[in-house]
Structure formats: structure tokens, C-alpha cells
Structure 1
Amino acid sequence: MTTDVGAVLDRMRGVHTGLPHDDGVAVFNRVYIAVTEEVRRRLAAGGFADREAAAELAVRFAGRYLAAVRDDAAGRRPPACWRPLLRLRAHTGIRPLQFAMAGINAHVGHDLPLAVVDTCRATGRGLQDLEGDFDRVGEALTAIEVEVRELLMPGPDLLEAADPLTHLVGSWSLARARDAAWSAARLLWALRGTEDAYGECVSRLDAGVGLIGRLLLTPVGGGCQSSGSTTGAISS
């Protein structure tokens, strides 16, 4: 399964090819490449209790993001959670950190609980079997999120201009989003035998996460870049 994670990374790098550096999807894609590389490193190091299920989760998780990008490029309607980022990706009044946070919000809030349920179904595991490794994937996300905030947040000389940005990104928490994702996965798992209720729950989850994404992408002024140079996978 680690080979599949490598294939997913190749697909992400393919998404990146040809996109302008400041394109909103490109910004998130760089972040997600870094996250997936970290997950692959931890898989290789034996950092997951159930390596097979963790790799399956990583691949299915990434697949939902890649499917949204593919559908948008093909003129198909992507999930509501991804539409704010995909529609506003070129807006000059939206900062790189907002694009990154909006992508993380869509991916964790909507894609992650669905990927958990899909993984349980595909591997024959129960939901509780994945809880520990769910947390470990979340730890990788959190580690990268800290780096993203440090790299993409305007420096002290731009603090006054960044006040609305500080308010926006400070109102969203990855830790709370992860907790909500696990709660959503538990609900979806409980509803898996009732098609109508399951579908309604997925639809409402998608819409709610999309609403948060639109708020995170509120324009706060253009032309402001990170005060420091970015290095590594996030800026490549």
C-alpha cells in the first residue's frame, strides 16, 4: 500500500504542473504534498498500528481531493466543500494562507470522514479499529499546519494589514475540525445501512463544510505575500 501512496504523490505533483505559483489550488496542493510525504515517511517507519489500513485511508483520503480537482477541470460539479477554493482560486484579494486553510477545511471536514468509512468497508475493519491511526494521520496534518501558518502568515511589519486575516484564520481550528470529522465518521458508520439517511447526512456535511470554506476565503486585500522565503515541499 505504500506504493499506492507514492502513486498518489505523483498525481498531486501532476496537478501542480503548469499552475501559477499563487493559484489557490496550487497553494493547497503544495501543502498536501508535504502532508502526504510525511504520512508516507511514517508508514515506512512503522508509525501506524495497522499499516495496511492506514495506507488505505491515506490513498482514499487523497483520492477525494484529486477527484474534486479532476471533476472541476472536466466541467463537472465538484462537492460543495471544494467549490469555494476552486471558484476563487485566482482572486487577488485572498491571501495564500486562506487558500491553504480553505483546502484543509474541505479535506478534513468532508473528505476525511468519508474516507474513514470507505476504508472500513474496503478493509473489513470496524470504525474503532481505525481510531488510533486516524489520530496519527491527524498528527501529521497538525505538524504541517503549524509550518504553513508560520510560512504564509504576513510578518510583523504587515501586522496592521493582516488584522482581518488574523481574525479569519484564528477562528478556524484544525483540532476542532479533526474532532468533528471523527464524530461525522461515527454518524455515517451508524447510518451505513440506511441509504436515504446516509445520503442526506453526507449532503448536509458537504454543504456545512462548504459554508465554512466560503467564510475562510473572505477577501481581505491583495498584494501581501509571506514575509519570509518558503522552502521545501510547501513552496516548491
Structure 2
Amino acid sequence: MARLERFAEFRVPAHGVDDVLARMRTLGDDWPPRDGVAVFNRVYLSVTEEVARRVRLGAFPDLRTASTLAVRFAERYLAAVDAASDGRRTPACWRPLFQYRRHPGVRPLQFALAGINAHIGHDLALALIDSCRALGCEPADLEDEFDRVGDALVTLEERIREELMPGPDLLQVGDPLTHLAGSWSLERARDGAWASARALWALRELPGVAEEFGERLDGAVGLVGRILLTPLPD
């Protein structure tokens, strides 16, 4: 699959969950708190910590599979950070967040949602393919672990919105931030990632078609991210 192989340049070596957690904590120390990527990093760090906690508690029947998926997933984000830091081109899904990370008119909740959109809408599908290759299996074999990792993400979505949404009233329909936040759903993005992964796996013997599919997925997720980062008035 030409497109998936090309994305390999953004990958970092595979390590364990503790290694990617340590890397995210280091990144958090290097960026100003208001930086848009730092905002997402804090959110994603809490998600990965929760997944790691569930792994340690035995919440996943197959620990090796769950850990592989969690690590391959995190590597996609860390590789995008490395690419941006080195001045290399990031996937289109991540470009809006890196471009607008210091924009004063973008709120913390928008940064968090834009990062989650890129990571779930695009990276999760490719991480599932990465995991299938590493484990020598097919997407259907990882469905339970995929769902359990996804459940950890969904349970944190409400808390993220509550922590980052300013003001006591989250139901102000006329507020632009409320409108933007309500227009995106992590659960729908996760469902889309599963469908995209299955499609990419089915197309693995058709590299040209897979490449086009991957490009369109990347671009579409990037467009949603750009909309989520629309600067808002104070």
C-alpha cells in the first residue's frame, strides 16, 4: 500500500506504553500551556494514561494486542510532532493544528477537538493497519481491543468538554464555541476510523486505489480540523 508505506517516514520506533507516556510528558514540559498542540497533548496524555491503567488492571483480554494498538496509535501523533519540529510536511489532518497553535482567537477546546479529530479520524485507521501488520492478523481480529480503546476515549470526551468549555452554561445555542463543539462527535469519528481501516485493508492489493483513498481521508479530516479551529470573537 503505497500511501501507508509513505506515511512510515512519520513513524517513530515502536516502544511500550510507558515509553510513549514519557515522551508526551516531556513534550508537555517543553511547550507553553496555551500552545494549541500543548492543549491537545495534555488531553491525549490523560487518555493514554487511562488506557495504560486499564491495561495494567487487565481490562483487555489480550494485553499484547491492546498495547500494540495503543502504542502504534500514539506513534502517529508523536511522528507528526517530530515532522513539524523538523520542518517536514505533516499529514494534512494535523496541519491546521500546527498552523494555528498560537492563534489568539482559537480557544483551548477548539485545539483539543482539532487534535482529537486528526488523531481519531485519520491516525486511528492507520494505527489499526500498523497493528495488523505487526501482529500478523486482520482488522476483525482486533475489533474487541479497538472497541475497548475507543470506549476509554469516549468516556473522557465529556470531561474534556467540561474542563475546557468556558462558562457554566454549556447549552447556549447562540454561542459560536458551543455550536462548533456540538458539531463534532468522537463516537462518530471512531466509527468512521473503523470503516476506513477495513476499507484500507481490503484495498491492500490495490496500492493505487489505496493511496487515493488515504489521501482523500487525510484531506477530509484536515478540512474538518480547519473548521474546528475557526477563530472566534471574545
Normalization by structure 2: what TM-score? 0.90
For each residue in 1:139-188, what CA deviation from the matched residue of structure 2 results, as whole angstroms up to 9, or x when unmatched?
Answer: 11112211110111111379869800000110001111011010001100
For each residue in 1:58-77, what CA deviation from the matched residue of structure 2 results, as whole angstroms up to 9, or x when unmatched?
Answer: 01100000000110010000
Match of 2:60, SS state, is coil
Q: Distance in 2 between matches of 1:9 and 1:139?
A: 19
Matched residue, 1:126: 138
Residue 104 of structure 1 aligns with an amino acid whose one-letter code is I
Q: Distance in 1 between matches of 2:137 and 2:50?
A: 24
Matched residue, 1:200: 212
Q: Distance in 2 between matches of 1:172 and 1:157?
A: 18
- Note if 1:65 corresponds to 2:77: yes
Q: Superposed, which structure 2 residues align to 1:71-220 within 5 Å? A: 71-156=83-168, 163-220=175-232
Give runs of ≥4 in structure 1 deviating > 4 Å. 157-162
- Kept in 2, the 8 Å contact 1:84–1:210? The answer is yes
Q: Distance in 2 between matches of 1:72 and 1:174?
A: 25
Q: Distance in 2 between matches of 1:42 and 1:158?
A: 30
Q: Percent of pairs identical after alignment?
A: 61
Residue 61 of structure 1 aligns with an amino acid whose one-letter code is F
- Kept in 2, the 8 Å contact 1:154–1:162? The answer is no
Match of 1:156, SS state, is coil
- Kept in 2, the 8 Å contact 1:25–1:86? The answer is yes
Matched residue, 1:35: 47
Q: Structure 2: 5+ residue runs without aligned partners?
A: 1-14
- Kept in 1, the 8 Å contact 2:170–2:178? The answer is no
Distance 1:158 1:182, change over 3 A: closer
Match of 1:80, SS state, is coil
Deviation at 1:47, TM superposition (A): 0.9
For each residue in 1:6-46, what CA deviation from the matched residue of structure 2 results, as whole angstroms up to 9, or x when unmatched?
Answer: 00001111211221111000000000100000010111111
Match of 1:193, SS state, is coil
Q: CA RMSD in A?
A: 1.6
Distance 1:175 1:161, change over 3 A: closer
For each residue in 1:108-130, what CA deviation from the matched residue of structure 2 results, as whole angstroms up to 9, or x when unmatched?
Answer: 00000000011011101221111
Q: Distance in 1 between matches of 2:143 and 2:233?
A: 40
The count of aligned residue pairs is: 220
Q: Distance in 2 between matches of 1:174 and 1:135?
A: 13
Match of 1:77, SS state, is coil
- Note if 1:12 corresponds to 2:24: yes
Residue 143 of structure 2 aligns with an amino acid whose one-letter code is E
Matched residue, 1:44: 56
For each residue in 1:192-212, what CA deviation from the matched residue of structure 2 results, as whole angstroms up to 9, or x when unmatched?
Answer: 122111111111100000000
- Kept in 2, the 8 Å contact 1:92–1:221? The answer is no
Matched residue, 1:227: none
Residue 103 of structure 2 aligns with an amino acid whose one-letter code is H
Matched residue, 2:3: none
